[in-house]
């Protein structure tokens, strides 16, 4: 199993569907470890962790399991940050109801104001340079902001899917009703023809 497959399964085991940027940051850690050590990390997270670990917690697990060598231990690891979860990216949810060019809820990411965000390329717009505050004010216990946005994206997407299904049912129902009404009208014409009555030409 490749590191990408390991990480995908690791997220899935904990019921997580990560953003691309978030997934890539975790994948960088697994790639640095190598496949054999990544498998050990995967098994630990799968079997021992009740919640999916943050970047900082992943490094703590790696250290406690002795999975890093001297060279790898010098790699920079970031502190936990509520805004970005320690990966440097702050997500913003885009709604298809507001942005007509998209068909489903999606996220765009901005650079965080923490050290992880400041280390991102300058091409990433800084979230708090554009927005005064977070898009969502609610706080969920045990979840950082990217995890909250991810949960809301899933929730809103499910609601949108139900709305679209109801709209299709309504349209289909109206179409069916119209067809039935049309069929009744055609049948009446046939009866008139058979009986020699043509009401259409009546004055």
The per-residue pLDDT for range 112-132, each reduced to its tens digit, is 998 888 888 888 899 999 999
Same domain, 110 and 55: no
pLDDT surpasses 80 at 191: no
What secondary structure letter does DSSP report for 161?
H
What secondary structure letter does DSSP report for 68?
-
Same domain, 190 and 201: yes
Q: Of the residues 44, 77, 110, which one is the last residue of a structural domain?
A: 77
Same domain, 116 and 180: yes
Half-sphere exposure of 50 (CA within 13 A, CB side): 2
Q: What total number of domains does the chain contain?
A: 2
Q: Using an 8 Å Cβ cutoff, are 70 and 133 in contact?
A: no
CA gap 86, 149 in Å, rounded: 15
Q: Of the residues 77, 104, 134, which one is the last residue of a structural domain?
A: 77
Same domain, 69 and 103: no
Q: How many Å separate Cα 18 from the centre of its chain? A: 7
Q: What tokens appear for 33 in the block? A: 């470890």
Question: Average pLDDT in the 25-29 region?
Answer: 87
CA gap 46, 13 in Å, rounded: 7
DSSP strand pairing (89-94 vs 106-111): antiparallel
Q: What is the pLDDT of residues 31-64, one digit of tens each?
A: 888 899 999 999 998 888 888 888 778 887 887 7
Question: Average pLDDT in the 135-164 region?
Answer: 86
CA gap 116, 131 in Å, rounded: 19
Same domain, 72 and 85: no
CA gap 90, 194 in Å, rounded: 74
Residue 110 pLDDT grade (very low, low, confident, very high; cuts 50, 70, 90):
very high
Same domain, 55 and 146: no
Same domain, 91 and 139: yes
Same domain, 44 and 29: yes
Residue 84 pLDDT grade (very low, low, confident, very high; cuts 50, 70, 90):
confident
- pTM of the full structure: 0.54
Same domain, 179 and 101: yes
Q: Of the residues 77, 104, 132, which one is the last residue of a structural domain?
A: 77
Q: Give the residue among 144, 188, 167 at the shortest CA–CA distance from 22.
A: 144
Range of the domain at 17: 1-77
């Amino acid at each position: 199993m490749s590191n990408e497959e390991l990480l995908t399964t690791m997220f899935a085991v904990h019921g997580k569907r990560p953003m691309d940027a978030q997934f890539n940051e975790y994948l960088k850690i697994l790639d640095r470890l190598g496949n054999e050590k990544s498998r050990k990390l995967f098994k630990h997270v799968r079997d021992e962790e009740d919640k999916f670990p943050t970047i900082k917690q992943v490094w703590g697990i790696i250290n406690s399991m002795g999975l890093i060598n001297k060279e790898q231990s010098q790699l920079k690891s970031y502190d936990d940050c509520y805004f970005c979860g320690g990966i440097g990216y702050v997500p913003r949810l885009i709604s298809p109801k507001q942005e007509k060019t998209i068909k489903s809820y999606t996220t765009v990411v901005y650079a965080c104001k923490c050290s992880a965000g400041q280390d991102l390329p300058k091409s990433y717009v800084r979230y708090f340079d554009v927005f005064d505050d977070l898009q969502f004010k609610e706080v969920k216990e045990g979840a950082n902001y990217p995890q909250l946005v991810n949960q809301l994206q899933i929730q809103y997407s499910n609601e949108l899917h139900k709305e679209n299904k109801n709209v299709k049912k309504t349209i289909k129902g109206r179409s069916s009703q119209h067809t039935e009404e049309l069929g009744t009208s055609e049948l009446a014409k046939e009866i008139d023809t058979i009986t020699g009555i043509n009401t259409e030409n009546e004055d």
